[in-house]
Amino acid sequence: MTNKEIYFDNAASTYIYDEVVQHINKINTEFFANPSSTHLAGISSFEQIKKMKENFCEILHIKPSSLIFTSGGAESNNFAIKSVAFANMLKSYNIVISSYEHPSVMNTAYYLEKFGFEIRVCHLNEFGHLDLDMLKKLVDNNTILVSTAHVCSETGSVTDIKKISDIIKAINRKCYYHVDAVQSLGKFPINLSMYNNIDLMSFSSHKIHGPKGVGALYIKPKVKIDPFIIGSQSAGLRAGTLNTSGICGFCLALSIIDKNRESNYIKTQILRKYLIDELNSAFSDDIFLVSPMDGSPYILNIAFRSIKSEVLLNALSQKSIYVSSGSACNSKTGISKTLKTMNIPKDFIEGAIRISFCDLNTTDEVDIFIENLRELIPMLQLFVRR
């Protein structure tokens, strides 16, 4: 129906801003020296990072000394969870996570079981949000760390991180709270000077139109944390040559997206509602809305009756429409743990897909998407194994 590519997988990765590409090229050409070198070329490279980092931290309302750049969101999450656990393992022995965490949080937490940590999982309530009553029961005096996503990458459910942080500290003042903000940076306001009870926060570049392979971790001053990569740089917590062009590209991307954050949010809110209305009109009883209505406007998870999500994903891909499998289904992993904990009807759960937006997406693209779904859904429902 159209040869134009329609990209609805922005929660996985985004296009890079043109200004960021140009800036990265300039940095790679003019500031290629190791920023840790003490000669003039190295100092010039370091000054580029320092200047861009200060702008980045100003947006988040934190001191530059509290931010460490990493290779991405997965490393930032690993860094936060493992390093806090190992630094404090002689004092406390359980870690609390939510049931909708990204694998880089969930699998890291379960990895720590071999070191004696008990992993406790807080489930979602009937509205698709973290069950705060259950959280209160899970956190105790032996809880060393709680880690939750600000925005669930699968469903777009938004967690009240201020409320959660207050609950945690009221029960155990010494317990650390880590927030995975990979899906919220640049989309939601994040002022860490107002979140006194948040101790660590993870970020990723390629979710906000920056380069891949770059992330960051905020570490509140006085948090007891072990080095993640042993060496001499980054205050001794993460060694390795700094990725000058990647860091500068990440910082510039945040600066650009933050200026347009409010207008992008409103535009995407309208687009998400338009898509929901069109889906309900076109498919009525054959569709189930997985995402909560008050979730992030950037992520919408829907499930079709009697459809295999990976089959629909591939059929759409053949038409140059790109979404992701909301159930993370394949022959090896099956239905995602997140969706298994939710109240999704049996004949819908295998047909979940995730549509995720950015500022470039339009209602025209939604119309083309719906038109293709009208053709594909009835046909694919005929071939599902009974």
What is the band of 233 on the pLDDT scale with cuts at 50, 70, 90? Answer: low
Residue type, 348: F
Percentage, residues of the chain above pLDDT 70: 93
Q: Is 329 a catalytic residue?
A: yes
pTM of the complete model: 0.93
The answer to whether the CB of 83 falls within 8 A of the CB of 226 is yes
Whether 152 and 177 map to the same domain: the answer is yes
Whether 269 and 314 map to the same domain: the answer is yes
Given this model, what pLDDT does residue 107 score?
A: 96
**Block residue for tokens 């988040």:** 60
Question: Whole-angstrom Cα distance, residue 304 to residue 377?
Answer: 8
E strand segments, 31-185: 67-70, 94-98, 118-122, 143-149, 176-180
Whether 146 and 231 map to the same domain: the answer is yes
Give the angle 270-271-273 at the CA atoms, nearest 5°.
65
Average pLDDT over residues 354-377: 97
- 144's enclosing H/E stretch is strand 143-149
Whether 107 and 151 map to the same domain: the answer is yes
Whether 165 and 304 map to the same domain: the answer is no
Whether 144 and 282 map to the same domain: the answer is no
Domain that holds residue 298: 6-15+261-380
* Token output for 289: 């809305």
Question: Whole-angstrom Cα distance, residue 151 to residue 99?
Answer: 13
Whether 33 and 163 map to the same domain: the answer is yes
Whether 148 and 294 map to the same domain: the answer is no
Question: Whole-angstrom Cα distance, residue 373 to residue 288?
Answer: 15
Tell which of 259, 275, 308 closes a domain.
259
Average pLDDT over residues 207-221: 98
Whether 240 and 313 map to the same domain: the answer is no
Tell which of 238, 259, 280 closes a domain.
259
Burial class (CB in 10 A: 0-12, 13-18, 19+), 166: middle
CATH number, domain of 174, equals: 3.40.640.10
Percentage, residues of the chain above pLDDT 90: 83
Active-site residue (options: 122, 152, 175, 329): 329
Whether 63 and 179 map to the same domain: the answer is yes
Nearest to 296 by CA among 326, 325, 269, 262: 269
Whether 42 and 162 map to the same domain: the answer is yes
Give the angle 120-90-224 at the CA atoms, nearest 5°.
85
Given this model, what pLDDT does residue 331 score?
A: 36
DSSP 285: G
DSSP 288: E
Number of structural domains (the chain) is: 2
Helices (H), 61-139: 73-88, 103-111, 132-138
Whether 35 and 77 map to the same domain: the answer is yes
CA distances from 99 to 88, 146, 233, 256, 336 (A): 24, 12, 35, 33, 10
**Within a domain: 1:** no
Tell which of 237, 259, 281 closes a domain.
259
Query: pLDDT, tens digit, for every residue of 92-130?
Result: 699 999 999 999 999 999 999 999 999 999 998 877 789
**Within a domain: 385:** no
Query: pLDDT, tens digit, for every residue of 255-266?
Result: 999 999 999 999
